[in-house]
Structure 1
Amino acid sequence: MTKAFGWRGAAFAAALLAVPAAASAQGQLVVYSANEQTLDELVFDAFKKETGIEVQPVSGGSGVVFRRVVAEKDRPLGDIVWGVSRSLLQQHKSYFQAFRSAHRDAIPAEFRDPDDLWIGNNLHLLVVLQNTKAMPADQGPKAWADLLDPKLKGKIAFTDPANSGSAYTNATLMVDLLGGGDPGWGKLGEFFRNTRVLNRSSLVFQGVGQGEYALGVSMEYAGYLWANNGAPVKVIYPAEGTYAAMEGVAIIKGGPNTENAKKFVDYINRKDVREMILAKHFRRPARQDIDLSKMPGGMPQLSSIKLAPYDETRWTEQRVPTLARIKDVIVQTR
């Protein structure tokens, strides 16, 4: 998720550059995080309480995180990257140190590196959110194709894919599911004719939660979070299938606090910690041994949701020209 440096991140980054050895003292850990501040605070405070290890966070979007990692490759200043996508973890795995987590076997092979250079933590499912006051529950869409209905013009909120990795994935997934190639792009154009394209993902969450928009194409956790807070929000899993976008964690090779980094990787995927994160922030865990029906929100198990094939590697490699084409489609449909 793209965001500006937050939660003391910018100030700490400057201090870290000025005094590179400052974070290498015993009981320290430097985490480059692309998560939301509230999630970082929850986890880092709990980790310190249990281990005594003080986490020094540097917060930024995934691109910012990896630009730091690459720039510091000869003298790493961070220990962990966390909250970044599988494709970015895979692209940068030469910067990571292998570590076999104690919780490795609880996580399906598709959500971890075969050489243990990174491991998945949570899954973002791409869904449709519906405000059931703005649109009666039984009148909502059941499939991605339903979002092309001209009657929905102006009623669907969507994030600009240029500003959101999940929106980029969602747009390209729809190209594939609605015909592929030029036919799929044509259907994507029909979808965009019905949308209000917003600059930030949070505006989609808020717009649906507050009833400004009847529908929003977004991430699963946001729907459950708003519903838990009392908003009339329903989560729809489209009939054609959806995609589980993974986020994970890795240890930076040569970082100043490697042993503490190993403790964090084990901690962040521990069953009770994933349950804590799910209960507070509705992040679907990558590990599959948690009974979600007994957790707040009552999310369906991953095994009960239809997942569609998605060539993440291809779409990642084609990101620049694809974003240019998406921009053209948006302009043509305004």
Structure 2
Amino acid sequence: MFRRTFIGAVPLTLLAAPLAAQASKKLVVYTSNDSTLNDLVFGDFRKETGIEVEPVAAGSGVVMRRLQAEKARPLGDIVWGVSRSLLQTNKALFEPYASKNIDATPAEFRDPDNLWIGNNLHLLVILQNTRMLPAADGPKSWADLLDPKWKGKIAFTDPANSGSAYATVTMLVDLWGGGDAGWKKVGDLFRNMKVLNRSSLVFQGVGNGEYPLGISLEYAGPLWAAGGAPVKVVYPSDGTTASMEGVAVIKGGPNTENARIFVDYINRKAVREMILKATFRRPTRNDLDLSSLPGGLPPLSQVKLVNYDEEGWTEKRAKTLEKIKDVIQDSR
């Protein structure tokens, strides 16, 4: 059995460290994925390799702050489930490794120096609880969410704790004209939203009927629908972007060989099919036929995608997070 550790709102210096790695059959994974995916993957990985996994689970922003605090003496081996923006910003913390699955992963979804490799592609979408809000009465676009009638009815994740939430906000700034005009509309949107600490709280809130709407990731819709929840995915008519999540080997971690085994495992074709069938996460691999797999995910060619300056927003992430913090405070 693996033991799951969760990081909450606790000062990083007071966090309990993972159990010390004792032998070659141990792996400490800092993960921003929810327990459903963690349980599936870590159980299968242990069964296949005999390597015991100790997950340390938290939002992606919290995970990366912990890695930064531990960089002189890393306690983890793998970081998994964080955005390309966070991976790129923190690549000095990672050790290069060329995955065996590199050829099946398009170059745009992996670091040129093999410091990280993408696993999932998450489309930024609107989730709607059709029991609380009939399908025909919901928003069709991001712009529709600015209507004051949605005040307090839209769940969203704090961008300080979520790479995908950061991507959503900055994408909308650009989509809504950039500069002061874009930020003004983002401020109007925040006035309608409930800002939660973790991404999982957003789709749980929509799935359980606490909120009629949520801004979240594509996979959450079919995942909750498969469990019987009245949740549908709205692909905004004014466009969206695909936010990549990936995996990286932590530089100087105690179990580097096991970390490399995990990187190869998590991007293998059969494993990506298993993950999609169970959790509906869109793979970065380009050799899976989505039409033959569960979830009904549309091909990217059927979704309106907008240009998103991920590199530019990554470079000014720290300053932008301060701006977002101010916008949230002003909207309360």
Which category of TM-score, normalised to the shorter sequence, fits these structures? 0.7 to 0.9
Give the match for residue 235 of structure 2: 237
Of 153-162 and 181-190, more deviation after overlay is shown by 153-162
Q: How many residues align?
A: 323
**Structure 1, unaligned stretches of length 5 or more?**
17-21
Give the match for residue 272 of structure 1: 270
Give the match for residue 19 of structure 1: none
In the alignment, which of 270, 281, 294 is matched to residue 296 of structure 1? 294
Of 222-231 and 319-328, more deviation after overlay is shown by 319-328
Task: Say whether the 8 Å CA contact 1:157–1:216 is kept in structure 2.
Answer: yes
Structure 2 matches for 1:225-264, cutoff 5 A?
225-264=223-262
Give the match for residue 39 of structure 1: 37
Residues 14 and 95 (structure 1 numbering): CA distance in 2 closer, same or farther, change over 3 Å? closer
1:62 CA drift (Å): 3.2
Output one character per residue of 1:115-138: Cα deviation in whole Å (capped at 9) or x when no partner: 212101112221011122222222
DSSP-derived class of the 2:219 partner: helix
Output one character per residue of 1:230-263: Cα deviation in whole Å (capped at 9) or x when no partner: 1111101112221222111112334343332222
CA RMSD across the alignment: 2.7
Task: Say whether the 8 Å CA contact 2:61–2:161 is kept in structure 1.
Answer: no
Residues 237 and 118 (structure 1 numbering): CA distance in 2 closer, same or farther, change over 3 Å? same
Choose 1 or 2 for highest CA Rg. 1
Residues 153 and 91 (structure 1 numbering): CA distance in 2 closer, same or farther, change over 3 Å? closer
In the alignment, which of 184, 193, 209 is matched to residue 186 of structure 1? 184
Give the match for residue 122 of structure 2: 124
In the alignment, which of 130, 145, 148 is matched to residue 147 of structure 1? 145
Instruction: Tell me how far apart the structure 2 counterparts of residues 155 and 122 of structure 1 sit (CA, whole Å).
Output: 28
Structure 2 matches for 1:63-74, cutoff 5 A?
63-73=61-71
In the alignment, which of 218, 221, 229 is matched to residue 220 of structure 1? 218
User: 2:17 is aligned with what amino acid?
Assistant: A
1:176 CA drift (Å): 0.8
Instruction: Tell me how far apart the structure 2 counterparts of residues 263 and 59 of structure 1 sit (CA, whole Å).
Output: 20
In the TM superposition, structure 1's runs of 4+ consecutive aligned residues that sit over 6 Å from their partners are none
Of 63-72 and 126-135, more deviation after overlay is shown by 63-72
DSSP-derived class of the 1:167 partner: helix
Give the match for residue 3 of structure 2: none
User: 1:4 is aligned with what amino acid?
Assistant: I
Instruction: Tell me how far apart the structure 2 counterparts of residues 183 and 68 of structure 1 sit (CA, whole Å).
Output: 35
Structure 2 matches for 1:1-334, cutoff 5 A?
4=7, 13=17, 15-16=19-20, 22-23=21-22, 25-73=23-71, 75-334=73-332
Residues 216 and 33 (structure 1 numbering): CA distance in 2 closer, same or farther, change over 3 Å? closer
DSSP-derived class of the 1:40 partner: helix
Of 269-278 and 96-105, more deviation after overlay is shown by 96-105
Task: Say whether the 8 Å CA contact 1:13–1:58 is kept in structure 2.
Answer: no
Instruction: Tell me how far apart the structure 1 counterparts of residues 233 and 43 of structure 2 sit (CA, whole Å).
Output: 31
Residues 154 and 267 (structure 1 numbering): CA distance in 2 closer, same or farther, change over 3 Å? same
Taking only the aligned residue pairs, the percentage that are identical comes to 68
TM-score under structure 2 normalisation? 0.86
**Structure 2, unaligned stretches of length 5 or more?**
1-5, 9-13
User: 1:233 is aligned with what amino acid?
Assistant: V
Give the match for residue 11 of structure 2: none
Task: Say whether the 8 Å CA contact 1:157–1:215 is kept in structure 2.
Answer: yes
DSSP-derived class of the 2:195 partner: strand
1:166 CA drift (Å): 2.3
